[in-house]
Amino acid sequence: MVKFTLTIKTTAGMEWELPFSSVSFSEELNKDRVANFTIVRQTGEQVAALTGTTLEAILSGGYREVEIRDSLGVLVYSGFIDETTGNAGASEYGNVSVTSRGFLALLEKRYTANLVTYTATDAGAIAWDLISDTQAKTYGNFGITMGSIIASKNRDRTYKWRNIKEAILALTSDNVKDGFDFDIDTGKVFNVYPQKGSSRPEIIFDSKFNIDRWTVRKTGILGMANHVIVFGAGNEDDMIVEERTSAPGYKAAYFLLEEGLSDKDNGNATLLQDKGDAYLASYQYPKKFVNISVFYDNPTYSTYNVGDYVRVKIAEEGVDAMMRILRRSCSMDGTVDLVLKSI
């Protein structure tokens, strides 16, 4: 079992290290971080009383940030408290279950102005500008700072009352050809990468050595597409529709496999084409997904990251390849669950 510490902080500088009965946290490429933890109410109230307050006030008295560190003091998770749930029986003190979200989730509650236009502007610069502008609003500064914004592709974008988190995600590699990867790290720093992660052949996960459990899933024809129809703004005869297709070799191997995508708020043909191209790049060939459970210290959790390409060896499944980490999660017992995708 790994020894973690959990700290709750306020914007005024108050902080409490709270005992917990369970904790888990996760991160995913171009997605939110999430943590869940449970506090035994009686012990939580005892800690709160030391500073003349209550557990309720600590957890729900305003905006609260969460930090989780491992036994070496490494900050492995940070975010904010989103939701608390108290539960108990008639004769029990009970527990308080807490859900924390990473700082990206704060941008779900922000929108652009009535009209914001960018022409031939680096996509990473657009994303940071959206964050910077919303943080300049009165009471609007979440404390997210600009980190490394590595040049990506220039884009034309127009936003009208657009949700900022959605606008940023629409610029990523998941949603547009030549899109970027990004994160808001545990230091609350916004970073943009042409592709997040590094090639790490020295990081090896091996079923004969350090993998505890595994599953290997290979996608088939129904999980593929080599011709995409993207439906944009408008209705029936007025609808903007763009088609994108793979090279003939993909169709010769698997027949014609069509997929329809909807982007009803988008009236820009180029953006619809980009969306179709990004989808084809991911789905025009079979993929192999591997889920493995490993241990926190073998290899050490902080020595590899989401986005990294690591070596996976599962002789029982015929797997020996470099694979990319898409998601990782950690629980209190030190089990680390990884989701990886073949290159």
Q: What is the pLDDT of residues 49-80, one digit of tens each?
A: 999 999 999 999 899 999 999 999 999 999 99
Cis preceding linkage at 299, omega within 30: yes
Q: Are residues 208 and 308 in the same domain?
A: yes
Q: Are residues 128 and 234 in the same domain?
A: no
Q: Are residues 213 and 319 in the same domain?
A: yes
pLDDT digits (tens, 9 = 90+) for 243-276: 999 999 999 999 999 999 998 878 888 889 989 9
Average pLDDT of span 161-183: 93
Q: How far apart are the first and last CA of the chain?
A: 33
Per-residue confidence at 91, pLDDT binned at 50, 70, 90? low
> What pLDDT score was predicted for residue 330?
97
- φ/ψ of residue 104, rounded to 5: -55, -35
Per-residue confidence at 307, pLDDT binned at 50, 70, 90? very high
Q: Are residues 268 and 328 in the same domain?
A: no
Per-residue confidence at 90, pLDDT binned at 50, 70, 90? low
Q: How many domains does the chain have?
A: 4
Average pLDDT along the chain = 93
Q: Are residues 75 and 22 in the same domain?
A: yes
| Residue 266 CB contacts under 8 Å (≥ 6 apart), including other chains | 232, 233, 240, 272, 275
> What pLDDT score was predicted for residue 92?
62
Q: Are residues 295 and 226 in the same domain?
A: no
Which residue matches tokens 């953006």?
Answer: 271
Residue at a domain's end among 243, 264, 283? 283
Per-residue confidence at 213, pLDDT binned at 50, 70, 90? very high
Q: Give the domain extent around 243.
A: 221-283
Q: Are residues 207 and 317 in the same domain?
A: yes
Distances (CA, A) of 58 to 48, 75, 83, 84, 319: 7, 21, 13, 11, 48
Q: Are residues 208 and 315 in the same domain?
A: yes
Three-state SS letters, the chain:
CCCCEEEEEECCCCEEECCCCEEEEEEECCCCCEEEEEEEHHHHHHHHHCCCCCHHHHHHCCCEEEEEECCCCCEEEEEEEEEEEEECCCCCCCEEEEEEECHHHHHHHCECCCCEEEEEEEHHHHHHHHHHHHHCCCCCCCCCEEEEECCCCEEEEEECCCEHHHHHHCCECCCCCCCEEEEECCCCEEEEECCCCCEEEEEEEECCCCCCEEEEEECCHHHCCCEEEEECCCCHHHCCEEEEECCHHHHHHHCCCEEEEECCCCCCHHHHHHHHHHHHHHHCCCCEEEEEEEECEECEHHHCCCCCEEEEEEHHHCEEEEEEEEEEEEECCCEEEEEEEEC
Q: Are residues 115 and 173 in the same domain?
A: yes
Distance CA 340, CA 284 (A): 18
Average pLDDT of span 22-42: 96
Lowest mean pLDDT among 93-107, 191-205, 224-238: 224-238
> What pLDDT score was predicted for residue 233?
87
Average pLDDT of span 212-229: 93
Residue 120 pLDDT greater than 70, yes or no: yes
Residue 304 pLDDT greater than 60, yes or no: yes
Q: Are 197 and 324 in contact (CB under 8 A)?
A: yes
Average pLDDT of span 301-329: 96
> What pLDDT score was predicted for residue 313?
96
Tokens of 31: 């997605």
> What pLDDT score was predicted for residue 25?
98
Distance CA 310, CA 321 (A): 8
Q: Are residues 187 and 229 in the same domain?
A: no
The CATH number for 303's domain is 2.30.300.10
